[in-house]
Amino acid sequence: MSKLRHVIRAEQLVDPALLDELFNSASKLERDDKALKLEHPLRGRILATMFYEPSTRTRFSFEAAMQKLGGGVLTAENALDNSSASKGETIADTVRVVSGYADAIVLRHPQVGAAEMAAEASPVPIINAGDGAGEHPTQALIDVYTIRKELGRLEGLNIALVGDLKNGRTIHSLLPFLRNAPGVSLTLISPPQLRLPGKYVRMLQEADTRFAETTRLARVQPADVVYVTRVQRERFASEAEYDAVKDSYRIDLHVADSLKARSIILHALPRTTEISPEVDQDARAAYFRQARNGLYVRMALLNYLMS
Ligand code: NCD
């Protein structure tokens, strides 16, 4: 496979050899970091992070990753108000200019397809860190890495996806990985209004992936992985529509206790009410470990794209 230039869609990352390379590199970087033996392969290089939507862990983990690899960071937080976008500049123009200062650009934007547009205009790698309700491929990479690290494999697992399957971009990016893994079966749990969009359902059908759609949270019980999402308030047309579904599901101690002993609960975070804080003490609650893995997976990805 030829080397990737931009990372826009999860589909670009599903190649098994590429995944092995990135995941082996992430584990090695974690070991080296813990032993205080990190090298600085990206010394002198610069990463720009341009966030037109709120973020904590995605932006910080990319910036920490770049700095741990010896590189520097230029950052535009709240870029809708604080960059030339507020003067009416197009993404294409902004990216053309920023690529003169930075060796790669991480972009988060409310519009589906924004990263694709940026990539067309950019001479340096563009990494999609979320394009509206579209995709979030690096989060999916972290999710797959976490599942493999926690449970040893992806193959044959029963995976429940819970919550806002319509707007959750982390779900949309996770599906190409799950669809490709032999023997995976999926339980798609959402309120009727937040069902997985037809485009993704067809993708699963075409791959002959086993899946069932339901509204019942009790169906998480046999799952090896319970992947919970936040209801994506910012994608709703009105507050009333959001209110109607926002409290559809809650993983509390009672639900957590019903899960298999060797299962894990994942969440890309931030959470609102969908996982009770008491569940955090349960060894199966893997979401903070998942967030931590983000640092090493993003280091591996930056190193791959930029060195
Ligand atoms: C996710 C996102 O931005 O899509 N967060 C993240 O990157 N960790 C999930 C979310 O906001 O609900």
9 lines ligand 1 (CB under 6 A): no
57 lines ligand 1 (CB under 6 A): yes
Residue 4 has what pLDDT? Answer: 95
Q: How far apart are the C-alpha atoms of 38 and 70, rounded to whole Å?
A: 9
Of 139, 246, 275, the one to substitute when testing ligand 1's pocket (max ligand atoms within 8 A of C-beta) is 139
Q: Which atom of ligand 1 is nearest to the CA of 58?
A: 7
Q: Which atom of ligand 1 is nearest to the CA of 168?
A: 4
Angle formed at CA 110 by CA 289 and CA 161, multiple of 5 degrees:
40
Q: How far is the CA of 189 from the centre of ligand 1 (A)?
A: 18
Residue 89 has what pLDDT? Answer: 86
Residue 81 has what pLDDT? Answer: 79
Q: How far apart are the C-alpha atoms of 194 and 68, rounded to whole Å?
A: 39
228 lines ligand 1 (CB under 6 A): no
Q: Assign residue 132 a region (left: φ > 0; alpha: ψ between -120 and 50; beta: otherwise).
A: left
- Residue 216 annotated among the catalytic residues of the structure: no
Residue 44 has what pLDDT? Answer: 97
- Residue 136 annotated among the catalytic residues of the structure: yes
Residue 78 has what pLDDT? Answer: 81
Catalytic, out of 3, 34, 37, 87:
87
- Contact partners, residue 30, CB within 8 Å, separation at least 6: 296
Catalytic, out of 6, 45, 59, 108:
108
Residue 84 has what pLDDT? Answer: 80
Residue 155 has what pLDDT? Answer: 96
Q: Which atom of ligand 1 is nearest to the CA of 129?
A: 7
Q: Of all protein residues, whose CA lies closest to atom 12 belonging to ligand 1?
A: 230
Mean pLDDT by 10 residues, the chain (307 residues): 92 96 98 97 97 92 98 88 80 95 97 96 98 97 98 97 98 96 97 98 97 98 98 97 97 98 98 98 98 98 97
Q: How far is the CA of 178 from the centre of ligand 1 (A)?
A: 19
Residue 77 has what pLDDT? Answer: 80
- Residue 108 annotated among the catalytic residues of the structure: yes
Domains annotated for the chain, with CATH where assigned, are: 10-134+293-306 (3.40.50.1370), 137-291 (3.40.50.1370)
